[in-house]
Amino acid sequence: MTPLVHAEQAVLGSVFLAPGQLDHLSPWLRPEHFSRPAHAAIYAAMLRLRADGHPASKAQGAGPVPMSWMTDTVAKASKHTRGLTASYAHSLVAACPRPEHAAVYGRMVLEGAIHRSVAQHASRLHQAARADAIRGGAEETEHHVQVLSDVLADLARRWGGEPRPVAPPASVPPPPAPPQPVGEQLLADEEFLLGCLSARPQKLDEVVGWLHPIDFADAGHQQIYRSLGALHHRGEPIDQLTVLWETQRRGALADRTLDTERVLWICDPSAFAGSAEYVGEQVVRASLVRTAAASARQVRALADDESLAPGQLIGYALHALGPLEEVRRRWRIGAGAEPEPQRPSDHPAGSPPAARIEAARSRSRRPRPAIPATAPTAASRPAVLDRPHRRSPS
């Protein structure tokens, strides 16, 4: 038997020996916290008999407990589970080291229930995310994300703390993330979106607030979107060549994430025309589903680590859901379900200030020759080359 089963037996045995322990257990320990159905049925029967005013539950002190307390409990619990006998109730009594430690045993049971509950809801979230990835939705994922968040908050308060995200230490590394399959349709949507933004850069104003590079499933598409955003941020012209040059600056050509032909093809302005906002919403929705699956795997791995105390597990799990909450917020903004927050700037949303635009354009503009106030003399006039320098042969 596992330590958790021993703890469940011990807490039930302690209540058989000292029914008054229910006064300390009933406010926070519930029947559903027991892993075995027979144990849950016995504890539920004890709570019901206590609520009905059973004489044993009113006894005070260290006097003998009437045998009816055990027999009535077994009889009531037998209505909800099979195979429960009086001999098993006696074995529970024998499994209790000390009845006065019932509260400690109960916290062990609650700790096991917290791990089990977090693992179950994380698995449901992962299944919902995988199903949504196949059918192209996000509603089930959104629902189970909210359920898992609510469960973590409730468990934190039940354990006696506050639901607060805590970053795990380096000794608790995240589980390795297996590569997630990406559909051809999603990759085509991403290419279409990048082509639309390259052909109509003004559309970047409408998506930069909620569409981030990490939302793209393809690493090359992430780099192209970063390049588009950098050019837009600096107020520089956007076309096939400027995007290609920016990707080169960022090392995407050197590390072979992209190649020249692919960038030029994606950014071809004659190949794409459509609604950037709609396709951008689809890209963020797919990002939400992928992030939910990754977060669910991480939370499930934390729940399976029995060495983590409940407070640590809940804090680490809430921290693992942090990136997912950020994608949820941006998806709601893109879908129009939530208003986009105002940017703290003195220029229109998404557009760079005039000073930055002028600085960027000055790097691409030929400098105008200065007009002297007076006509220069022959001695002071600098030599002017009428044609480019030719390097003399060595």
pLDDT score of 160:
84
Indicate whether 374 belongs to any domain.
no
Segment 101-112, tens digit of pLDDT? 999 999 999 999
pLDDT exceeds 50 at position 389 = no
Q: Which residue has the tokens 């050197």?
A: 254
Indicate whether 381 belongs to any domain.
no
Mean pLDDT value across residues 322-341: 84
- HEC secondary structure over 208-269: CCCCCHHHCCCHHHHHHHHHHHHHHHHCCCCCHHHHHHHHHHCCCCCCCCCCHHHHHHHCCC
Domain end among 97, 118, 144? 97
At 53, list the tokens: 């005013």
pLDDT score of 364:
47
Domain that holds residue 82: 3-97
pLDDT exceeds 60 at position 377 = no
Indicate whether 170 belongs to any domain.
no
Mean pLDDT value across residues 62-74: 87
pLDDT score of 136:
83
Q: How many domains does the chain have?
A: 2
Segment 255-302, tens digit of pLDDT? 999 999 999 999 987 755 667 888 999 999 999 999 999 999 999 999
Sign, CA torsion 216/219/225/230? positive
pLDDT exceeds 50 at position 253 = yes
Q: Which residue has the higher pLDDT, 141 or 362?
A: 141
Indicate whether 235 belongs to any domain.
yes
pLDDT score of 169:
86
How far is Cα 61 from Cα 252, in angstroms, rounded to an integer?
Answer: 77
Indicate whether 160 belongs to any domain.
no
How far is Cα 367 from Cα 381, in angstroms, rounded to an integer?
Answer: 19
Q: What is the pTM of this model?
A: 0.77
Indicate whether 293 belongs to any domain.
no
Residue 207 makes CB contacts below 8 A (sequence gap 6+) with: 197, 276, 277, 280, 334
pLDDT exceeds 90 at position 62 = no
Mean pLDDT of the chain: 85
Domain end among 257, 273, 289? 273
Q: Please, are residues 144 and 64 in contact by the beta-carbon 8 Å criterion?
A: no
Indicate whether 106 belongs to any domain.
no
Segment 144-160, tens digit of pLDDT? 999 999 999 999 988 88
Mean pLDDT value across residues 189-216: 92
Of 76-85, 178-187, 188-197, the one with minimum mean pLDDT is 178-187
Domain end among 62, 97, 132? 97
What is the domain-level CATH number for residue 40?
Answer: 1.10.860.10
Mean pLDDT value across residues 181-199: 90
Indicate whether 68 belongs to any domain.
yes
pLDDT exceeds 80 at position 88 = yes
pLDDT score of 60:
62
pLDDT score of 277:
85
